[in-house]
Structure 1
Amino acid sequence: MSPIQKSGTFHLGDRPVHRLGYVAMQLAGPGVFGPPKDRDAALAVLRAAVESGVDHIDTSDFYGPHVTNQLIREALHPYRDDLVIVTKIGARRDDKGGWLPAFSADELTGAVHDNLRNLGLDVLDVVNLRVMFDTHGPAEGSIADMVEAVAELQRKGLVRHVGLSNVTPAQVAEGRGICDIVCVQNMYNLAKRDDDAFVDALAKDGIAYVPFFPLGGFSPLQSDTLNEIATRLDATPMQVALAWLLHRSPNILLIPGTSSVAHLRENLAAGDLVLSDEVLRELDSVGKAA
């Protein structure tokens, strides 16, 4: 059994996916802006991911912009029937790579059509609405108008399932009053544990939780405890951090990103790690100390 198969499955709406997936974000240039430094290497990573059994790829047309979606299409189209491509809307880039809100009905509609065109699809499997009240984390405020705009695109048959990103529990509740919400994508990892109760509540409702920056993001996780446990398990610290997330809750879907085939395989091997109750308790202390 492969590491991906060992990780188990969960669902995105009516689509079952393995819990180890891949995000294409790092295939764009520095700062997720512009083309990759090595286009052939980027294409190779995408093909290696799917060949390894990955059936959940996360992307957005504002990565680049347009870069990662065009790479996915070049590398993988026509797509395997079991491949679920999840994209995000709600933001745009300025000419210097800055991240700006883009969640008017017209902007959201245009973003869906951009994703469809660049991915070569007639309908998007899952669209995550990225809420941009605060670029750096969730901030309260009504999201009803923007969710309604995405729900209208769903009614038109352009979107199968709707998810939310960078949101609070209250915003998810508001969104669920408008349409089904199949996943939440927020920042969460071994050290960043603000969403602990949120993860558990979503699990009870059968909603997937997809942590972005599962390895810490632009400031990789640093912990003596994590390093010591990794040495004992003959694994890398990042593999242990990913394995902890797989153990944390069955509704967590992982999408670690990389631009390297070797690093991709290292990430996916986290599915082989079995963490004892003692190790899990030690790792839990990392989050409590952060």
Structure 2
Amino acid sequence: MRLTGPGIWGEPADRTLAVRVARRAVELGVDLIDTADSYGPNVSEEILAEALHPYAPGLRIATKVGLVRPGPGIWRPVGRPEYLRQQAELALRKLRTERLDLLQLHRLDPQVPAAESYGVLAELQTEGKVAALGLSNVTVADIEEAGRHFTVATVQNRYNLTDGSSEDVLDHCTQNGIGFIPWAPIAAGELAAPGGPVHEAATRLGATPGQVALAWLLRRSPAMLPIPGTGSIAHLEENLAAAELELDDATYAEITSAR
């Protein structure tokens, strides 16, 4: 998402740097990269293909369809089956692949019956154009309804130390073996302010507040697949270092109770 221009719109200021960031992520062991047709639009998928194709064995590129972009910072759902199919076909072309590793419905369209959107995704999987299917910005009821059409592999909802509105969705995913992809994972709000539990933990552990926020997520559930976005190699490396940071029981409990 952050490999594009301001407002997640257009080309980044430095496309060469964006390519380097993607390549460095894979060098450091990242094996899941999340994108969407609406990032740019198109720009993110095209940069990832330029940077990483042919893809290393085990590397999975997840993309999303279902949002259109009339302009910078504007996102509108479109879930018509013919549109979702068109965008999936275009994603195959932009990512230079014959099968999408993971295709996620970016958002349900209130103007389109969910069954119609789910149905075309299931068709794409049956046709071999998609390996796995996921959802984004959904409820437990949405997941259960989608499950009548296809196996839900992942769910991508906003979730972090300051936003627990998807707590029930995370628990459902954990209990049912569904990968949970929290977007905006680093947000910690006042918890990261001086004197706050995230700030105190970061100081004690020699880490950054963002790293503590990611470490908390990773401990919260084995289903957790955080996707911190960045357009900076230094920030990328900082984020990935959070995977080596372990919160002790007391620190984890203190941060959890302060949410």
TM value normalised by structure 2: 0.94
Q: Answer 1 or 2: higher relative contact order, Cα 8 Å, separation at least 6.
A: 1
Matches within 5 A, 1:12-27: 25-27=1-3
1:253 pairs with one of 196, 204, 225: 225
State the alpha-carbon separation in 2 of the partners of residues 59 and 276 from structure 1. 33
Matches within 5 A, 1:46-57: 46-57=22-33
2:186 pairs with one of 207, 215, 220: 215
**Aligned residue identity for 2:231:** S
State the alpha-carbon separation in 2 of the partners of residues 142 and 237 from structure 1. 42
Q: Does 1:170 align with 2:138?
A: no
| Aligned equivalent of 1:225 | 197
Q: How big is the alpha-carbon RMSD for the aligned residues of Structure 1 and Structure 2? A: 1.4
| Aligned equivalent of 2:95 | 119
| Aligned equivalent of 2:242 | 270
Q: Does 1:240 align with 2:212?
A: yes
State the alpha-carbon separation in 1 of the partners of residues 168 and 92 from structure 2. 35
Q: Does 1:108 align with 2:81?
A: no
Change (3 A) 1:272 1:95: closer
**Aligned residue identity for 2:189:** L
State the alpha-carbon separation in 1 of the partners of residues 135 and 26 from structure 2. 25
- CA shift, 1:198, in A, is 2.2
**Aligned residue identity for 1:194:** S
Runs of at least 4 residues off by over 4 Å: none
Task: For residues 176-235 of structure 1, give each alpha carbon's deviation from its aligned partner in whole angstroms, at most 9, with x where no partner exists.
Answer: 01110001000000121122232122111111101011013xxx6332221111111110
Q: Unaligned regions of 5+ residues in structure 1, if any? A: 1-24, 135-140
> How many equivalent residue pairs?
254
1:63 pairs with one of 36, 39, 64: 39
Change (3 A) 1:196 1:113: same
Change (3 A) 1:115 1:67: same
Q: Do 1:32 and 1:63's aligned partners in 2 also have CA atoms closer than 8 Å?
A: yes
Matches within 5 A, 1:191-210: 191-210=162-181
- CA shift, 1:142, in A, is 5.4
SS of the residue 2:132 aligns to: strand
| Aligned equivalent of 1:154 | 125
**Aligned residue identity for 1:271:** A
Change (3 A) 1:96 1:197: closer
State the alpha-carbon separation in 2 of the partners of residues 221 and 151 from structure 1. 39
| Aligned equivalent of 2:66 | 90
Q: Unaligned regions of 5+ residues in structure 2, if any? A: none
Change (3 A) 1:91 1:164: same
- CA shift, 1:286, in A, is 2.9
Q: Does 1:30 align with 2:6?
A: yes
Q: Do 1:190 and 1:286's aligned partners in 2 also have CA atoms closer than 8 Å?
A: no
Matches within 5 A, 1:65-84: 65-84=41-60
Q: Do 2:65 and 2:84's aligned partners in 1 also have CA atoms closer than 8 Å?
A: yes
State the alpha-carbon separation in 2 of the partners of residues 241 and 168 from structure 1. 24
